[in-house]
């Protein structure tokens, strides 16, 4: 099995340790991992801002770099969703049939659904509250959406439960948005901040030491709230917990 590792902008520029953890864990699990050095942004920011056609050259570059891999894995639910759901339509405008949209997986989705891991290498003896990002829940189905009134499940929690020493917690309003929403946080900053404050409050009410999740952008947004208000809780990407000890 050969996997192309896609490291999105936020991870590459601000949270490179997440990308390193992703590579280490895939390698530990026996996956042949490659990191295409010429990869770029997936184009989601341009499309969300209303300049969708500006994302087409990035989709073409992505297709060129990642087409040869059996699987494409990204430690970012929202970026995986953008490729999966939007690239076929964007590339169709250029007369190209997309080959990568069906191969891309969020990191947790890949471990849970494809590799079906039954154990993980490290220890993380801490209380952790799981943040379910909107794209992960409603597009990738990493967990059940509460509005559907279906039996509760969480692929992220299933994986975290395999880490020795961890205590996994979940907040009230378990899949409520944190308020980031990409361009939403720029265009509606006051509403975005209030939503972030509410979400952090619910996470802290669990008694957790850390907030974790599959999207660095959501964690960054809530971390901004915590930093400004000097609140006693920390943040860590779920991939870093799953790779703990490597």
> Where are the domains positioned within the chain?
2-115, 127-242
First vs last C-alpha separation in the chain: 21
| Contacts of range 19-23, beta carbons closer than 8 Å, 24 or more positions apart | 19/75, 21/75, 21/237, 21/239, 21/240, 21/242, 21/243, 21/246, 22/73, 22/75, 22/107, 22/239, 22/243
Answer yes or no: is pLDDT of 7 > 90.
yes
CB count within 10 Å of CB 204 equals 16
pLDDT (tens digit per residue) in 23-48: 999 999 999 999 999 999 999 999 98
CA dihedral 104, 176, 203, 133 (to 10 degrees): 10
3 state DSSP class of 218: helix
Q: Which CATH class is domain 127-242?
A: alpha beta
Spatial separation of the C-alpha atoms in residues 14 and 237, rounded to whole Å = 12
Residues whose CB is less than 8 angstroms from the CB of residue 136 and which lie 6 or more positions away in sequence, other chains included: 77, 78, 81, 106, 108, 142, 143, 156, 213, 214, 215
- Identify the pLDDT of residue 184: 82
Of 80, 88, 95, 186, whose CA–CA distance to 141 is shortest? 80
CB count within 10 Å of CB 201 equals 13
Distance of CA 239 to the CA centre of its chain: 9
Spatial separation of the C-alpha atoms in residues 224 and 196, rounded to whole Å = 9
pTM for the predicted model, two decimal places: 0.94
Answer yes or no: is pLDDT of 186 > 80.
no
pLDDT (tens digit per residue) in 144-175: 999 999 999 999 999 999 999 999 999 999 99
Spatial separation of the C-alpha atoms in residues 158 and 99, rounded to whole Å = 30
- Identify the pLDDT of residue 180: 87
pLDDT (tens digit per residue) in 215-234: 999 999 999 999 999 999 99
Give the chain's radius of gyration (CA, Å).
Answer: 18
- Tell me what the mean pLDDT of segment 50-76 comes to: 96
């Amino acid at each position: 099995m050969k996997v192309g590792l896609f490291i999105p902008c936020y991870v590459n520029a601000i949270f490179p340790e997440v990308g390193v953890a992703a590579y280490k864990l895939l390698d530990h699990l026996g996956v042949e991992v490659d990191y295409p050095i010429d990869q770029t942004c997936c184009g989601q920011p341009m499309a969300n801002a209303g300049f969708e056609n500006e994302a087409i050259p990035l989709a073409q570059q992505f297709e060129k770099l990642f087409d040869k891999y059996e699987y494409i894995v990204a430690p970012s639910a929202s970026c995986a969703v953008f490729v999966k759901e939007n690239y076929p339509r964007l590339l169709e405008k250029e007369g190209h049939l997309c080959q990568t949209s069906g191969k891309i997986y969020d990191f947790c989705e890949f471990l849970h659904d494809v590799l079906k891991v039954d154990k993980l290498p490290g220890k993380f003896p801490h209380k952790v509250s799981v943040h379910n990002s909107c794209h992960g829940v409603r597009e990738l189905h990493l967990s059940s959406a509460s509005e559907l009134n279906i039996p509760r499940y969480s692929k992220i929690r299933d994986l975290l439960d395999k880490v020795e020493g961890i205590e996994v917690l979940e907040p009230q309003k378990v899949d409520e948005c944190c308020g980031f929403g990409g361009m939403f946080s720029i265009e509606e900053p006051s509403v975005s901040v209030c939503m972030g404050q509410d979400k952090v409050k619910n996470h802290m009410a669990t008694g957790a030491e850390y907030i974790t999740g599959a999207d660095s952008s959501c964690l960054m947004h809530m971390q901004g709230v915590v930093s400004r208000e000097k609140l006693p809780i920390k943040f860590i990407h779920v991939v870093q917990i799953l790779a703990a000890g490597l």
